[in-house]
Amino acid sequence: MEKKDNDSVGALLDASNKLNSQIVSVSNCLTLALLHYSFEGLQYTDLKEALGVSDGKLIADLKRFEELGYLSSKEEKFGGKKVTVYTLMPEGHAALKRIKEWMDLVIKVSGENNK
């Protein structure tokens, strides 16, 4: 039992080191999750309304994600005009997977044992 608990803690610490601290914020995790949910992509306004953040913050975060290769943007036709649609790239999916695995470990480590 002790060895198993230590393994969980060790795994959590190891996973924490592998996370990119630049992206593990509520709004950034939410951005990755929402882009994963709608794999055809989301427009800027969709993300802004869902996240409730300022334009400055969202533009900076999306730019950082593009630089990291987590997402790509392309123009598509919509209602007679061109709109920018963001989609999650494989690196973005991998980053989201690391976050989900980390969260599973947090749940495991903070589980029933210490009640």
Partner 1 sequence: MTGKDNIEKVAAELKFLGIKPDIENDYSARFLIQKIVFLAQTMTKATDYNFTIYLRGPFSKDLQREYYQHAAELQTLKTAAKLSQKEESALSEIKQVCLSKISCSSDIPSGSKEFNILEATGTAAYFVKSTPQPAAEALFAIVKTLKPHLKETEILIGINNARELLFDPKQVSASVWKDIKDFDELEN
State the amino acid at position 22 in one-letter form.
Q
Asked if 43 interacts with partner 1 (CB under 8 A), we say yes
Cβ proximity to partner 1, 76 vs 104, nearer residue: 76
Inter-CA distances, 58 with 49, 72, 112, Å: 11, 15, 38
State how far Cα 26 lies from the chain centre: 9
Site membership for partner 1, residue 42 (CB under 8 A) = yes
Site string for partner 1, 50-69 (x = CB under 8 A): x-------------------
Residues that bind partner 1 (CB under 8 A): 34, 37-40, 42-43, 45-46, 49-50, 76-81, 83, 85
